[in-house]
Amino acid sequence: MACRRIGCHGHTLSPASSINCVKALATGIRTHSICMVSDFFYPNMGGVESHIYQLSHCLIERGHKVIIVTHAYGNRKGIRYLANGLKVYYLPLKVMYNQSTATTLFHSLPLLRYIFVRERVTIVHSHSSFSSMAHDALFHAKTMGLQTVFTDHSLFGFADVSSVLTNKLLTVSLCDTNHIICVSYTSKENTVLRAALNPEIVSVIPNAVDPTDFTPDPSRRDDSTITVVVVSRLVYRKGIDLLSGIIPELCQKYPDLHFLVGGEGPKRIVLEEVRERYQLHDRVRLLGALEHQDVRNVLVQGHIFLNTSLTEAFCMAIVEAASCGLQVVSTRVGGIPEVLPENLIVLCEPSVKSLCDGLEKAVAQIRSGTLPTPETIHNKVKTFYTWRNVAERTAKVYDRVADEVVLPMDKRLDRLISHCGSVTGCIFALFAVLSFLFLVFLRWMTPDSIIDVAVDATGPSGAWTQQYFPSKKGSEKEEIPDC
């Protein structure tokens, strides 16, 4: 995911927990005060954003206190409350590239320290290796002696110079992080290799999809034809070039085959050219960028979902499609083979021929009627991935991390120097010392004791989850405009 997904295929912002908001939980569960940090959060839309949002809600539901820290998006700065008292800090930091903030390792320390202290954070959970704010927060949290968890959402190669550099930085960032979470086993292998980690401190917790948002509706589709749906950003990494080869090949072979393409991007022009060249205007529909709530309505119009990605850590899109009862045809790349069982997905090699074969197989299945009904598929898929399960497993990681010791300064320096190579290690050890001195200076300027303690919105003594505010849907709608 070298380029961030923007817009067209966002994910839900309605909390999965909205059905039964604050469930009475069995007492005795350990609660933590968790700070999620990432550059990517609402109003930006994408896999990471929805992961943070949904996970936070389910953690709140479990009785933990959760706050989110991200950078300011335009006018959206300061502190905001989302549904169920989820508190979000939009920090006034400069955005440098692709919604990622600039990093100096130092400039964000005063702000982040203030937040960590006033919110009495015990665990800092950073998301996405593309977010420099996430790495900064990890660095500061370790300086302050807080427990750290990092979730990696993307895959990276090893071949080119840029990945060599980013992998080195990841090594530095993760070498003294308590625990790492990856979204698939392939992603875990990738992260372990990239950051030279002990695989035992890396857990695999997949993403999830809210099954109530993606329900099948066979009445919406036209059964006299066969419709192939593609919903993705139209960019090179999503294999749109492959799609431009598949469309003419199959349209010539099957006169009743239709394509429905949702999403926007630089490769749209390629699809338009193909459509023009083969006169397929009535059979290939390009819908452009989709709002999140429209994704389901597009999906249910099709029989087959086609995913042509060239690399993918988890691929939520195929789970969403399967949840809508579509037969999924996908390339066998990254973590995709782990996501759905063989009877729900046709896996192909990333070539036009193989994907055409896969689609033909799916078409034959539909014609012979051997496919399970959309309802059956939905009922099966909805048991696979739920945010509650993700939160439960993440909470286990927190419990484990809370019992660990944060490396004291001398051990941390040792680890940096021994683990990250002599040159990089020494440089970052120096940075660690400087950041510690800076922290001492900040503590002298404003001692922890005079920093106001924030009122908890969530957590064991959460004001929001008790009587002060109505915790039901009424207030949510105002808090999350046009999502």
Partner 1 sequence: MVCAQVEASPRKHWQKVLYERQPFPDNYVDHRFLEELRKNIYARKYQYWAVVFESGVVIQQLCSVCVFVVIWWYMDDGLLTPQWLFGAGLASSLIGYILFDVIDLGVGRKESGRTWWADLKSTLVFIAFTYGFSPVLKTLTESISTDTIYAMSVLMLLGHLIFFDYGANAAIVSSTLSLNMAIFASVCLASRLPRSLHTFAMVTFAIQIFALWPMLQKKLKAQTPRCYVGVTLLFALSALAGLLTISGVAALLFALLLISISCLCPYCLIRLQLLKDNIHGPWDEAEIKDDLSRFLM
- Residue whose CB is less far from partner 1, 144 or 274: 274
According to DSSP, the β-strands at 284-288 and 86-91 are: unpaired
Mark 12-23 as b/e (b = at least 16 C-beta within 10 Å): bbbbbbbeebbe
Rounded Cα distance between 192 and 195, Å, is 6
CB 137, min distance to partner 1, A: 22
Q: Under a CB-based contact definition with an 8 Å cutoff, are residues 302 and 260 in contact? A: yes
The least distance separating partner 1 from the CB of residue 90, rounded to whole angstroms, comes to 31
Residue 185 CB, shortest distance to partner 1, in Å, is: 5
Nearest to partner 1 of 206, 374 (CB atom) = 206
The residues that touch partner 1, with contacts defined as CB under 8 A, are 155-159, 179, 184-187, 189-190, 192-193, 199-206, 237, 239, 241-242, 244-245, 248-249, 273-274, 277, 310-311, 313-314, 331, 333-335, 337-341, 350-353, 384-385, 389, 393, 396-397
The minimum distance between CB 193 and partner 1, in angstroms, equals: 6
Rounded to whole angstroms, how far apart are CA atoms 104 and 431? 10
Alpha-carbon span 253 to 138, nearest angstrom:
54
CA distance 184 to 197: 16
For partner 1, which is the closer residue by CB, 71 or 238? 238
* Structure tokens, 425: 């290690």
CB of 346 to partner 1, least distance (A): 16
Bridge partner list, 88: 68, 80
Q: Smallest distance, Å, CB 183 to partner 1? A: 8
CB of 400 to partner 1, least distance (A): 8
d(CA 379, CA 325): 9
Cα 203 to chain centroid distance, Å, stands at 15
Question: Between residues 228 and 457, which has the closer beta carbon with respect to partner 1?
Answer: 228
State which residue, 144 or 333, has the beta carbon closest to partner 1. Answer: 333
C-beta of 189 vs 448, nearer to partner 1: 189
Scored b (16 or more CB within 10 A) or e, 112-135 reads: bbbbbbebebbbbbbbbbbbbbbb
CA distances from 403 to 67, 175, 181 (A): 21, 18, 17
Nearer to partner 1, 96 or 193 (CB): 193
Cis peptide bond prior to 43, omega within 30° of 0: yes
229 alpha-carbon distance from chain centroid: 23
Strand partners, 86: 82
Strands (E), 92-164: 95-97, 100-101, 123-127, 147-152
Q: CB-wise, 145 or 266, nearer to partner 1?
A: 266
Instruction: Kindly state the smallest distance separating residue 384's Cβ from partner 1, in Å.
Output: 4
